[in-house]
Amino acid sequence: MKKAWFVGVALVAPLALTACGDSGTGGGGATGGGSGETIKIASLHPLSGAAAADGQQMDNGAKLAAEAINAAGGIKSLGGAKIEIVSADSQGKPEVGQSEAQRVIQDGAVGIVGAYQSAVSANIATVAERNKVPFVIDVSSADSILSQGYKYTFRVQPSASVIGQQGAQYLFDMSKAAGKPVKKVAFLHEQGPFGTGVRDAFTKKATELGFEVGPALSYDAASVADLTTQMTQVKASGADVLAVTGYYRDGVLVAKAVNSVKPPVNAVYGVANGAFDLPQFPKETGAAGEGYFDANYHPDYTKQTTKDLAALYKSKYNDDIRTGAVLSYDAVRVLADAMERAKSKEPQKIREAITQTNLESLMAQSGPIAFDEKGENKGAIPILMQVQKGVVNQVWPADLAQAEPTYPAMGG
Amino acid sequence: MADHQQGVSSSGVAPEEDLSTTQTATVGQSRRLVDAFTRSRLIVVAVIATAVVLAYLRADSPVIATQAIVTGLLIGGVYGLVAMGLTLIFGVLDIVNFAHGAFLAVALFITWWLVSSMGFHPYLTMLATAPIMFALGYAVQRGILSGAMGKPLENQLLITLGISLVLENALLLFFGANPRAVALPGNQTVGVLGAVADLSRILAFVGALILAGLLFLVLQRTRLGTAIRAVAANDTGAQLVGIDTRRIYALTFAIGTACAGAAGTLVAPLVTVEPSTGALFNIVAFVVVVIGGMGNVVGALVGGLIIGLAEQLGTIFLPGQSPLLSVFIVFVLVLFLRPQGLFGRTS
């Protein structure tokens, strides 16, 4: 009987851990304070669980946006009404995100920003649609979320297909400019919809541009412990660039594996990689991460407002701001801007106003934030970053660059 | 209590049970039993050998297969190390310890803290992590779990699950969610039969072997170890000969937790230190425990190696699949051939 128990437990352990993993620290949130009325905006992010680092950053970003708006006089067309951020914890789980979205709407939130994981965002989008409350996605890349014809969901970041296509284009242009045009790309990616979506878009564009993508190798981001074997496969393939799509922890494993196996590639090239463009990455990997590229959505640090936000974040939370927090900041600004123009806090009217958005972004974009009929941000593009002497610099395209790209970036 | 005893006597943990069965059986029967044991183990060895040969045939170059085997064995050692504490606790206390991964995470953070703020060498911190985790394990067993001893398994399971939630979220609260790293001074890449491996991984592997040996010696050669094995075999009997079973329960849980502490220190240079890092090892550790034979320390080590190999060879046979797929294929296969685990007979 004991044995049967243990075997049963071992079999259901993955399920059990998913179902009753760490419970969150929901509730809380910033106070609007002051006189006059307050308007609630929900910030729904993974505050606990494996993505807690990003989730907490994004929640902080949303709070900073509300503080900035309130300090500047609140929503002026509504008599200086203050924004109150209601923080909620999705725990990174779709079903929790869905129930929390329902809860915050019943609590009176007139808009939601969130939610990091695409699967969570997809569920929140259905709740937003049913309740006719606008949902502004800060981070979640899956194209499928906005291909359902939703009217109440908008996305600030570029979608997976935009990042994948632009990533291939940048690699082609940059390597050509450096006199060593890319010929063959080995693509290593996490196996979920995020990784495969980016890979497919990248491969399609690469074929158009005339360079080869293969082999494509994948891994499970949740459980991977070592990527040395995959890296040996890359080494044997004869590829001259290694493209990588994944999250933070696995990105660090990639750097460790590249450092031990030393595949003869000109560059390690992240496409929407969750590690290579973060300030924490060069700190953790040291020399091993030097020269890594990442084509990803990114705050535009050539703008003074973005620099100010980064400095404010550092002083307030004693941490380097991540891209996600800037996107959450922008997402709250989109909602506040829509309320200002709609002169209303009715969710339906806010939604109408969001479709007419024309707002300067803190992100590196090709233009201001404006949404197409699907709800995608028309101005959203990825840019190319590179780790140079332990610092992540914007290197491509030229008008958004802080420094010249170094290509080939690796000894091989 | 009766339920508890029944659980022990019906398990493959108790060596006496299997031995007595063999003794009372006729010679022919016993030979058949022994044949069955060796046969199923031979099958497992044959399956592994076939998998290795196929990997060489299937891989684009032999280096890839060699790399998969080297990496698999090195990771497997770490899995075995984590599973050792788990299997010991299960064998003696009958507790499915869901908090094992969280204990490992606590040890990771202690290691990180000692290295980053006190400047200790990462491996030296084991002198702190193992005793601290030993004390924590002792306190947890005495304070929280002792009341649930002998109660239905789900009681203890829920308690340990609760402990893991508390520990993980306490780490999240105190240290924040930002990833941290423990760097090993002098870490370099070493060539192994044409493949490569980080020195830190090789040292973790060697450390796992040494700890397994130590644990094995403690269990086999000391009075405490004998008492622990006696309680595992029959706790009422152990009580009758004067063993303080409550103390043995607490000590065993403490030793198991100290194993998680030592494992935390050894794997610290290999992983990103986050509150949820320990949970990564939980699922694999449970599988390793069942494959190796529940309650068997050496079995845990061998099970870990098999799972490590399965995971890495899986990337060659089943490209693009989760490593857990090949792990569970092996798991089901072993359960089919030897439901009591590879080393279920001996303790």
Residue B232 and residue A350: Cα distance in Å, rounded?
A: 66
A195: which residues sit within 8 A by CB, 6+ positions away? A189, A218, A221, A245, A246
Assign B273 to helix, strand or coil. Answer: strand
Tokens matching residue A268 = 């390690």
Q: What is residue A21's predicted lDDT score, i.e. its pLDDT?
A: 37
Q: pLDDT category, B14, cuts 50, 70, 90?
A: very low
ipTM at complex level: 0.73
- Do A6 and A52 touch, CB atoms closer than 8 A? no
**When comparing pLDDT for A90 and A35, which is higher?**
A90
Buried b (16+ CB within 10 A) or exposed e, A368-384: ebbbeebbbbebbbbbb
Q: Are the Cβ atoms of B201 and A226 closer than 8 angstroms? A: yes
Q: pLDDT category, B31, cuts 50, 70, 90?
A: low
Work out the number of other CB atoms within 10 angstroms of the CB of residue A411: 9
Residue B7 and residue A271: Cα distance in Å, rounded?
A: 53
Residue A48 and residue A145: Cα distance in Å, rounded?
A: 23
Backbone φ/ψ region at B293: left (φ over 0), alpha (ψ -120 to 50), beta: left
Exposed/middle/buried for residue B216 (C-beta within 10 Å: 0-12, 13-18, 19+): middle
Those of residues 107-126 in A touching chain B at CB distance below 8 A are none
Across chain A, which distance is largest between two alpha carbons, in Å?
A: 69
pTM: 0.79
Among the partner-chain residues B61, B172, B322, the one whose CB lies closest to the CB of A48 is B172
CA–CA min distance A225, chain B (Å): 8
Q: pLDDT category, A219, cuts 50, 70, 90?
A: confident
- Do A297 and A163 touch, CB atoms closer than 8 A? yes
pLDDT tens sequence across A21-35? 333 333 333 333 345
Give mean pLDDT, residues A36-50: 90
Residue B54 and residue B64: Cα distance in Å, rounded?
A: 12
> What single-letter DSSP state applies at residue A70?
H
pLDDT tens sequence across B82-124? 999 999 998 888 888 999 999 999 999 999 999 999 889 999 9
Q: Does A260 touch chain B (CB under 8 A)?
A: yes
Among the partner-chain residues B75, B161, B339, the one whose CB lies closest to the CB of A225 is B75
Among the partner-chain residues A9, A22, A229, the one whose CB lies closest to the CB of B96 is A9
pLDDT tens sequence across B191-236? 887 788 889 999 999 999 999 999 999 999 999 999 999 998 888 9
pLDDT tens sequence across A285-342? 888 899 999 999 999 998 999 999 999 999 999 888 999 999 999 999 999 999 999 9
Backbone φ/ψ region at A18: left (φ over 0), alpha (ψ -120 to 50), beta: alpha
Those of residues 145-204 in B touching chain A at CB distance below 8 A are 153, 157, 161, 165, 168-169, 172, 176-181, 183, 189, 195-198, 201
Could you give all domains of chain B from N- to C-terminal order, each with its CATH number?
Answer: 2-337 (1.10.3470)
**Most A CBs within 10 Å: which of B56, B73, B81, B96, as the mutation test of the A interface?**
B96
Could you give all domains of chain A from N- to C-terminal order, each with its CATH number?
Answer: 25-158+302-354 (3.40.50.2300), 161-296+383-400 (3.40.50.2300)
Q: What is residue A309's predicted lDDT score, i.e. its pLDDT?
A: 95
